[in-house]
Every structure is written in C-alpha cells, then in structure tokens.
Structure 1
C-alpha cells in the first residue's frame, strides 16, 4: 500500500479534483458528469498488511516507499485503517514485543476487519510454527477476542477460523458474506456498499438473466439476483468460488449458479470453442442474458472477452483502472453508449480512481 498524506480537511477538495480529472479523461465518450461516491475521510480501510521491522529486540509496524526497501517507514498511527484495526494494532504489537516466541522471525502482520465488527489477525514468519508458538498465539487470541492465524513457508496454522463474516446493509436488506483470509475483498467497506447500491439501482426493472465475470465471493452477484430471473457467475479462484457458494446459501439465494472459469474460458464455452467439465451441470442455452457485469483486474478485459461482452444489450463495467477501461471503451463504444457514469473513491488521498459505467446498446 502506497504511503500518502492524510488530511481529512483537504478531502473534499481532493475528491473534486479527482472527479474533474476523470471527466476530462472520459470526455471522448460521454458528456455525463460522474455520480461521485465519497469515502469516509478517515478509518475507511478494512484490511491492511504491514511489514514488521525488528531493531534492537523490538518489533515495529512498517511500510516501505517504492524502491526503498531497506529504509522502513515506521507506522506510529494508521488513521486510514478502521477503528477496530486501530484498537487491535497496539494490542498485537505489545503482545509480540512481550513474547520472544511471537516476535522472533516475524516479518509481516495482516489485519482483516469488517463494518459489522469482526476481525482476523494473521502473523507471518520466517520460521516453522510449533506448539510453543501456538500456546502463545492462543493466549493472544484470548486477549484480543478475535481469531489469530499463523503462516510460514508451506504452513498455515488456523487456531479458530481463517475468515471473517461481513454484513452489509444495502437498501432494506442485509447481506452476509464470508471473507476468507488471503482472498480478494473490497478494502473500503462504505465504498463497497455504495458500489453495490449503485449497481442495484442500475439494474432496477431489468428483464432476462444476468451474467457476471470475475464474481469473487459473490459481492455484487448476490444482491443483484433479485432483479433478474436467473444469474450465472464465474470466478477462477477456488477459495473465492467456495466462499461464494457458502454466501449463496447464507443469503437464501435460489436463482444463482457459480462456476469456476476464467473470463477467457467462459468466452470459449459460450462460443462453443471447447467444452468444459465444470459446466456439465449448466445449460447455457437456457439463459436469456440481458445484462453482463464485469469487474476485471487492473489489466481490464482481454480482446476476446471484450468482444463477447459487446454482444450483451447492457454492460455494467466496474473498473479499478480507468486506463484499461478506456482501452476497452474504444471497442465497446462502437456498439454501446454510456448511460450512467460513477466515481467510487476507494482510496482517498491517492490518484487511484475506481469507476462504474452502465453501457446500453445503441
């Protein structure tokens, strides 16, 4: 995570400047002003990883500026982190520094928290974790009131659980998500709620079926299902697919199927280029897809997936990289126009911008 200056008093002005830059970049494709969804100005980040800098027998949380990995930036405060994270950080560090077993060869600490008040602490080592470590870690776990997990090379020691449960209030319904340590989750909880709410609003009065690529743990798919007859979602990560299946059951969803396929593989499947055993229980011909939701990694959509997506009447395109989204728009704009345009400020005080587009066939 990049180091940056955090001053809540400057946040509104910085966000206005970010929105103005985004408008200019997308001006070739739309005259719409973006719907701007601001982040809380502080305590907005739900997960974070810190390096542990050890000096004179004492551990410190640290980060590094890019290219300066031998010059740590010691973390004395972390106001961008959730309030729960800020309560746990000093307790963990105090326990680590009071225990040679917990401190020795510790090189990283990760915190995963939720808006709903759950948390998981992961300690990562350059040593094998033994029974002595487990005893000390369990004592820390009891003190924190939240689970502690240990990792080292080829070793994962789960003392209680390796996940948190998040509950998000979207409109008049609460959705429950299992979020597994090490898998992707949205780092800014309030922006996550805003993104889901915006997507649901864009799907009001939809007809037909929904396809989602890169669905993760079902973060978007599960709330959107109520607006469609059926939904099919794909994800390549085994851990995320397993979480999505559990989240489907936890939320009582009955019209959604998840399959473990990459976007490239699904494109091959729907174009009948090759069959996939993972689709043996899915009848693609039974779907009447009207909308596709894509939330790709920073690389954006590959050319074949972009061409496949262009065949849908409506495209919801969430992006963490406007550069590659604009590259894809060069093709998608030939068949679709932008009907809605949104800015989600996932990472305040940085140049990072996340966008949402609703594209409708011309």
Structure 2
C-alpha cells in the first residue's frame, strides 16, 4: 500500500466508496443493505513487513512503489501499524544499525504483535546465521523483551519462541490464540473481533453440528464451538493446525475435532469418493455427525466447483470472503438453492481496494 493512500481525515468517505463498489458487485444476489463494520482509521495493523535498505552506514526501513524494485521509499513512520509496532520500529532500527553482526546482509524485518503489546520480530538475511549472530540476537531480544526469529535460506533460528499469544474478548468471554511466525493471522484485531461476533450471532440457535473449512489457527472455531454440539474443523497447513490444537486445549474446549484435509479432500470424503486414514482419529465416524451448518473462510480464489456443490447440501452456509469477486462467482451457484439472510462488510484493509464480506445463506 503506498503511504500516500493513508488518509485518516477522509476515512469515512473512502470506506463509503468501497462499500458502494462491493455492494454493486454483489447486487445480483442480495438487495439488502449490508451491516458495515469500519476499522479504526489508524494503528489497526497487527502485522507489518519492511525491506531493509543499506547505504553506507545508513540503515532504513523501506517500501517500493509497484513495479519499481530499485526505487526505495524510506519509512520513518507507519501510522496504520498498531501502537506497539510503531513504538518499537525506530528503537529496533537504531539497535540493528549499531550492531555489525545484526545488520550484516539483513534484508527484511517483520513484526507481529497482539492487542496486549506482545511482539514477535523476524529478521531475514542473505547469509547463514552462526553462534555470533545468535548471541547478539539474544541480547537484542532481552533488550526489547521480544520473541525473535532469524531466517536465512533453509535456516530458522528461534530466540526464545516463534509465536505470540493473542487474547480477544468475544461475546463476553476471552479467547486465547497462538500466532506463529510466518503463519496466517487476521491483520486487523479490532475488525477481526467484530467479524467473529457477527459469525457467532449468525449461528445462534442453529444447533446440531458444524463443519468448518479453512479453520486456520481456530480464529472462528473457538468461539463458534459454543453454539454447536460438535464441531469438525478442517485445515491443511500444519502450523495452523498446531496453533488451533493449542487454542482448543488452552481454552478448555471439548467439542472440537480437527482433521488435516484440504477442502477438496473434505468434499471427496463427504461424497464417499475416498477414504482418508486421518478420519480414523475422529471421535466418531464422519457419517455420525449431524452437520446442519457449514462455515467457510476460503482463500482469495474462493471455493472450487466441487466444494460449492458439497456445501450447497447444507441448510445453513456461513461464508466469510476476502474477495468479493470470487464470492460473487460462488454465489451464482449457491443462490440457486439458498437465499442470503445476513450480509455484512468488514473493513479489514483500510485505504486499499480489499473488502472482507460475510453472508449467511439459508436453503429455500
């Protein structure tokens, strides 16, 4: 995102224009006005990533205009980052600049923070990291009270830990999440919390059991579990599964079963086309679940045609999408059997064209 696009004074107008564009995209499938969840205009991002530019003794965070990899723009202030990242950025850069072992062939710095200020920093290098680097990194982590990870090609060095623990207050209860280095997490904690509350309100009273595809680190899974007898949550990424399993245990949730399957494989299992050994770890056979509701939060490409056909069999579909275009493609099929009963827009990414959407579909 070019820094010139960050315009807090005009945030409301920019959001209104984005809402209008998204509603136009989805107009063939719903005539109702959406619930719109705005973002804080500043200090909303819990993640930030910068390239590092070396020029003699100078060391700067930089970003590049699209298509201009040799035209670095020095970043001295990043107002959309959360307060903890904004406060850390200049002091960390000064410490890196002053230490030869830490700055040598450093090319990228990544920040991951939480609403409590707990922060993980990842330093990426074009060289192998040795014991001297690790000693310097341990001192740096102690100085700033950080979790720290060093990365180079085929190498990962963890100083302390490679995760942070986020706590979100959702519908009157605190939920604890583990967020690992390099794993996907929702970038806007304030909007994410409201997305979760919207999802929970959407399924209140549904009962039965829930199938969740693309559950990630359990972002929605943990709070949704309160509304169903059993939850069958699926995810392919091993790190996300590890985080979700930690969250299930840490939050004392006993009605969630995790399986490592891609959405396409879940469809094959649901259709009886393939048997998967991993299903043997479930507390009961797949056919024994009373799956009345499906929750999907797919990547930008949306659901593949076979998965669309599979979820179409459910009485209730809760669909959270980061791409209105792929959502519209899927709705072209889903709307043949289901009507949209709830529609919401969540501004996860202010000052960009991206809009997060949520729809609840009920079978006619």
Give the superposition deviation at 1:5. 1.7
Counterparts of 1:73 and 1:236 in 2: how far apart (Å)?
37
In the other structure, the counterpart of 2:303 is: 301
Look up the match of 1:355. Answer: 357
3-state SS in 2 of match to 1:80: coil
Aligned 1:33-182 pairs, distance under 5 A = 33-182=33-182
Check conservation: 1:116, 1:168, Cα contact below 8 A: no
| TM-score (structure 2 length as normaliser) | 0.98
1:6 partnered with 2:9: no
Q: Does the 8 A contact of 1:3 with 1:65 survive in 2? A: no
The CA deviation at 1:57 is: 2.7
Cα deviation for residue 138 of structure 1 reads: 1.2
Could you tell me how far apart the structure 1 residues matched to 2:187 and 2:338 are?
31
In 1, Cα distance between the equivalents of 2:304 and 2:102? 45
- Residue of structure 2 equivalent to 1:288: 290
Equivalent position of 1:271 in the other structure: 271
Alpha-carbon distance between aligned partners in 1 of 2:136 and 2:237, rounded to the nearest angstrom: 33
Q: Secondary structure of the equivalent of 2:161?
A: coil
In the TM superposition, residue 21 of structure 1 has moved relative to its aligned partner by 1.7
Kindly state the Cα deviation for residue 137 of structure 1 after the two structures are TM-superposed: 1.0
2:328 paired with 1:326? yes
Output aligned runs, 1:246-265, within 5 Å.
Answer: 246-265=246-265
- Relative distance call for 1:278 and 1:2 in structure 2 (3 A) is farther
Partner secondary structure for residue 5 of structure 2: coil
Q: Report the equivalent of 1:238.
A: 238
User: Is the contact between residue 25 and residue 325 of structure 2 (CA under 8 Å) also seen in structure 1?
Assistant: no
Q: Deviations over 1:119-164 (max 9, x none)?
A: 1011000011111111111111111111221111111111100000
Once the two structures are overlaid, the 10-residue window that deviates more, 12-21 or 295-304, is 12-21
Q: Deviations over 1:87-120 (max 9, x none)?
A: 1111110011101111110000000001122110
Contact 1:317 1:357 in 2 (8 A): yes
Query: Displacement, 1:202?
Result: 0.3
Alignment-derived partner of residue 313 in structure 2: 311
The answer to whether the 8 A contact 1:269-1:276 is kept is: yes
Q: What TM-score, normalized to structure 1? A: 0.98
Give the stretch that moved more between structures: 20-29 or 318-327: 20-29
Alpha-carbon displacement from aligned partner over 1:235-288 (angstroms, at most 9, x marks no partner): 000010011111000001000001100000110111111111111122101101
* Mapped contact 2:233–2:257 kept (Cα < 8 A): yes
SS of 2:177's equivalent?
strand
- Judge which range, 223-232 or 9-18, deviates more: 9-18
**Is residue 29 of structure 1 aligned with residue 48 of structure 2?**
no
RMSD: 1.0
Kept after mapping to 2: 8 A contact 1:241/1:260:
yes
